[in-house]
Amino acid sequence: MKPIPLNDFIYWVGGIDWDLRNFHGYLTQRGSTYNAYVIMDEKITLIDTVKYYLTDEMLERISCIVDPSKIDIIISNHVEMDHSGGLPQLMELCPNAMLITSPNGAKGLEAHYKKNWNYTVMKTGDSISLGKTSLQFILEQMVHWPDNMACYMPQTNILFSNDAFGQHIATSQRFDDEYPFDIIMDEAKKYYANIVLPYGKQTQNVLDAIEGLPITMIAPSHGIIWKQHTSQIIAHYKKWANNETSNKAIIVYDTMWNSTKLVAHAIKDAFEQHAIPVKLFDLKTIHISDIMTEVLDARYICVGSPTLNNNMLPTVAAFLTYCKGLAPKNRVGLAFGSYGWGGQSVAQVEDVLQQMGWRLIPAIKVNYVPQKQLLVTIAQQVFEKINEIDF
């Protein structure tokens, strides 16, 4: 339970959630951390807390540096309870500490905790002196809640970015030069796809706000601290915020008696003929939060379902509901499926793709089991339609 120094007066004092596997519906196969930071300046300052059940772990880390009751300033950059869960205990321990938050943070903390705390509200451009150092505040509205805020220390060029640039990884390593970089990037991509994706414009606002700031370290509120690769993660955020895609296709489906699966494979053949990288995902075997990681940079997204009781399969409906909420833009969609009678599923799938504003390749609907010649024809039709898409 030792704190980990970022330099000679700033320490990571967060909590490691080794067992977390589900973060409100997002599978976190590698667990997570809730990052909190202590700054040992003339004003002893704590940036964020942890989920309530890791508060004692955080206090133990802080106690290795200083008596937690000596904290002068507590900064709550985000109301969400994975970062504010330790606040009630902290405010009991240090009732005279200045509690700094954003305007929406004050409203959210009040609404959630219903405590009579005395908030000091900061907005973009405001700053506070801690003694030898200072913190400048940057509102991160809707990245991904109305209250998110970051703070930047100009004397060290450290950006405490809160949820932005985070990843769900539980590890005893804290820095990006201590942990496999490909895993950090995979988890940062998954995090963006499942948490930040609906807020591209707001993310761009944050990127604009930090543009030009010298940044030597990005200390997010989840996972690994960026030290060697700050420019890479910022470049990726620019691309993701702009909904930039790669020439890549994914085919997401569920199947009852393999007819929809056969169509999925015919569609795959069409993309392969174009030498477009393509991946197939059977919703029975992969979680929707992992599919979203692939959606993030896929240009073509094909979704298939047979008809069950006048509807698409519940697995497909769940994926589409989740995907629609995360609102990926500038995609090309293709609905497909099979049916015995009724056959409503394909139109239902296509309707959701249309609601997301995607350009559509004409839907494919087959009755009972498609024979080989029909599958060849489907592959040829999809191949030709891909040709017509001007991206």
Active-site residue list? 24, 78, 80, 82, 144, 163, 191, 222
- Span near ligand FEO by CB under 6 A; candidates 78-86, 97-105, 208-216, 292-300: 78-86
- DSSP, res 195: I
Distance CA 90, CA 293 (A): 36
Rg of the chain taking only CA atoms, in angstroms: 24
Closest among 22, 71, 62, 14 to 42, alpha carbons compared: 71
Q: Does 80 bind ligand FEO (CB under 6 A)?
A: yes
Among residues 33, 141, 202, 221, the one that binds ligand FEO under rule CB under 6 A: 221
Q: Is the Cα torsion angle 219, 224, 230, 235 positive or negative in sign?
A: negative
For position 41 contacting ligand FEO by CB under 6 A, the verdict is no
With binding defined as CB under 6 A, does residue 30 bind ligand FEO?
Answer: no
When asked if residue 187 is in the footprint of ligand FEO (CB under 6 A), the reply is no
Cβ-based nearer residue to ligand FEO, 148 or 338: 148
Residues 6+ apart with CB under 8 A from 343: 307, 337, 365, 367
Q: Say whether residue 51 binds ligand FEO (CB under 6 A).
A: no
CB of 78 to ligand FEO, least distance (A): 5
- Whichever of 222 and 236 has its CB closer to ligand FEO, that residue is 222
Q: Does 82 bind ligand FEO (CB under 6 A)?
A: yes
Residues 144-183 close enough to bind ligand FEO by CB under 6 A = 144-145, 163
Number of helices (H), then strands (E), belonging to the chain: the values are 12, 23
**What are the tokens at 340?**
């015995």
Phi, psi of 86 (to 5 degrees): -90, -5
The interface mask with ligand FEO, positions 260-279, x = CB under 6 A, is --------------------
Phi-psi region of 287 (alpha: psi -120 to 50; beta: other; left: phi over 0): beta
- Which residue's Cβ has the minimum distance to ligand FEO? 80
Interface contacts to ligand FEO, rule CB under 6 A: 78, 80, 82-83, 144-145, 163, 221-222
